[in-house]
Amino acid sequence: MIHIKDHKTPYLFDPFEFLGPKRRKLLDDSWAGIFRDHVRHILPVELLAKQFSSNNGRPTKELVAMMGAMVLQHMHDLTDLETAEQFAFNIQWHYALDITGRSDNAAYVSPKSIWSTRYIMTEHNLYDPVFEAIGDELCKVFEVDKSLQRIDSVHIFSNMRHLGRIGIFVATIKKFLSNLKRHHEREFDNLEQELRDRYLRKQEESAFSMVKPSESAKTLEMVGNDLFFFLEKFRSDDKIPAMKSYQLMLRVLKEQCIVEQDEATGEKRVMIKNNKDVPSDSLQNPSDPDATYDGH
């Protein structure tokens, strides 16, 4: 069910009064004060709310805070784990996002929930209206004349979708390696330990839980090359290519990548497709290959 806090009705008692006047002034003069006063209330949270049921299922995390956390994650270039920590403990984040409760329900979000929210936003291209709304509002606040903007010099792209695509690669490779270990233990043991550990560590220990938005493109290229490596390594095997998890990797390669071959050397190179070139019915969840994204 949808959970959106009423941020418009003034508080009878100031929930941040405990800070005292000096620390409160520091907050008001910082980025947190600007975000609270000028950004939080114009976030197009209704677009995110459309992706949830209004009367069925468990309550969502407070959606204004979640959409705001997506913006702050990219603003500060944080990993999902770092974002969860800031959401839980950083008073500037609480002030900016109007998190006034002290319970886990109000001031805690799991890295998985952060990934899920980003995934929904990227699949429905919500980062574009978020960027436009914030940009327009801040231009008014700081009296920026957009007519003087050099359009040919603007190169701003969101890393949100990159982070979501990394998750698809990682989950697919992890599924393959788990099945390989179960059914073809000798071939699994012959793989480099570092490569195995990269995908089979626990989620909280995984290197991919520490990917920052600024590093997402490089990481996406790495996981694409890893997936292609596994496909090529076992392509000539008698049994492994028939595994469903191997076929899922083939599907991800086809949907997410382009394989180019150097005419001179014959060497193959994996190129990651642009976000707009990935089909809408591409694999979303390796555990449910038939599931696509229909907005419900």
In three-state form (DSSP H/G/I as H, E/B as E, the rest C), the secondary structure along the chain is CCCCCCCCCCCCCCCCHHHCHHHHHHHHHCHHHHHHHHHHHHCCHHHHHCCCCCCCCCCCCCHHHHHHHHHHHHHHCCCHHHHHHHHHHCHHHHHHHCCCCCCHHHHCCCHHHHHHHHHHHHHCCCHHHHHHHHHHHHHHHCCCCHHHCCHHHCCCCCCHHHHHHHHHHHHHHHHHHHHHHHHCHHHHHCCCHHHHHHHHCCHHHCHHHHCCHHHHHHHHHHHHHHHHHHHHHCCCCCCHHHCHHHHHHHHHHHHHEEEEECCCCCCEEEEECCHHHCCCCCCCCCCCCCCCCCCC
Q: What is this structure's pTM?
A: 0.68
| Residue 39 pLDDT | 95
| Residue 124 pLDDT | 85
Judge whether residue 93 has pLDDT over 50: yes
What value does the mean pLDDT take over residues 60-66? 95
| Residue 291 pLDDT | 56
In angstroms, how far is CA 138 from the centroid of its own chain? Answer: 24
In terms of phi and psi (left: phi > 0; alpha: psi -120 to 50; beta: otherwise), the region of 258 is beta
| Residue 265 pLDDT | 82
The token pair that represents 191 in the structure block: 């793989």
pLDDT above 70 covers what percent of the chain? 89
**Extents of the domains making up the chain:** 17-153, 160-277
In tens, the pLDDT along 178-222 reads: 999 999 999 999 999 999 999 997 654 466 767 888 888 899 999
Query: Which residues is 258 bridged to in the sheet?
Result: 271
**Cα-flanking dihedrals φ and ψ of residue 269, to 5°?**
-135, 135
What value does the mean pLDDT take over residues 36-50? 94
In tens, the pLDDT along 109-148 reads: 999 899 889 888 887 889 889 989 999 999 999 988 877 7
Average pLDDT, the chain: 87
Degrees, nearest 5: CA angle 5-10-16: 85
Judge whether residue 158 has pLDDT over 60: no
The token pair that represents 103 in the structure block: 């319970």
In tens, the pLDDT along 269-284 reads: 899 998 788 887 777 7
